[in-house]
Amino acid sequence: MKLSAPSNQDIILKPIQPNLGVEAAYRKSLKKLLREMRADVQGLLERHYPKGIAQDSLTGGLQAALSALLRYWLARLDKLAPQIAEKFTNQSAGHTERAFQTVLRDTGFAVRFRSTVQQQTALQAVLGGNVSLIRSIGQQYLNRVEESVWRSVNAGYDMAQLTRELRKDYGISERRAAFIARDQTNKAKAAIEKARRQELGITEAIWMHSHAGKEPRPSHVAANGKRFDVSKGMYLDGKWVQPGTEPNCRCTSRSVIKGFNS
């Protein structure tokens, strides 16, 4: 289905914004995962962390317990990451497509989206990327924990000192989870929107700078209001870029439905 304006004037659609509810739900899922990991780590350390001078027998038990916990969680991440990513991907697709249908309906176009090869390709890319990111959040957290534990053992830290170190490790992972939730919500929306635009024969869009960040990219500010090819994006800073796909980019765009003389 190819859309065209009923006159020689182009129709400019309203921009579609990433959904804050989708972002919040994803962030909640990632933080829940981290909390479960932290609880297991705390339980292990209460049972196995040396209470006095480190002895080979005690540290040997700690090493075995840590290794077992790492194996358990790596296997669990292999199971949970696809589930969390699939839920996020489906929610992103649902919001983006409903929002797209709404802005189309507001300008007189009744469109019903169906599953297509283009859409499924976009969804699989979103899904695969997020499975990898979810695994990496867990793996990096566990690696930091392991490093902190052995650093504390070697330095002779007590449990209170180690707990302070682990709190820092958890904070780093928690902030990364929040960033991923926000960043991937923007990227998923952009990927799904691009696929649906191409299915509808929408070849141009207008870049809309978000004005949301504290340190906006000068190239993105300069791109505001300019048209770009939907298939390629805008050529910025030496590469082709779609709105919302760079780290921390919250830019959006407005679809252009061409008039019959365009």
For residue 234, what pLDDT band results from cuts at 50, 70 and 90?
very high
Provide the pLDDT for residue 60.
77
Mean of pLDDT over the chain: 92
Give long-range contacts, CB 8 A cutoff, 24+ apart: 176-183: 176/137, 176/140, 177/27, 177/30, 177/31, 177/34, 177/137, 178/27, 178/30, 178/31, 179/248, 180/30, 180/133, 180/137, 181/23, 181/24, 181/26, 181/27, 181/30, 182/23, 182/27, 182/248, 183/247, 183/248
Provide the pLDDT for residue 96.
97
Provide the pLDDT for residue 50.
76
pLDDT digits (tens, 9 = 90+) for 192-231: 999 999 999 999 999 999 887 678 899 999 999 999 999 9
pLDDT digits (tens, 9 = 90+) for 246-259: 998 999 999 999 98
pLDDT at 262 over 70: no
Any idea where the domains of the chain sit in the sequence? 19-201
Residues of the chain with pLDDT > 70, as a percent, come to 96
pLDDT digits (tens, 9 = 90+) for 35-68: 999 999 999 998 888 775 445 555 778 889 999 9
Mean pLDDT (whole number) for 23-41:
98
Provide the pLDDT for residue 52.
54
pLDDT digits (tens, 9 = 90+) for 117-146: 989 999 999 999 999 999 999 999 999 999
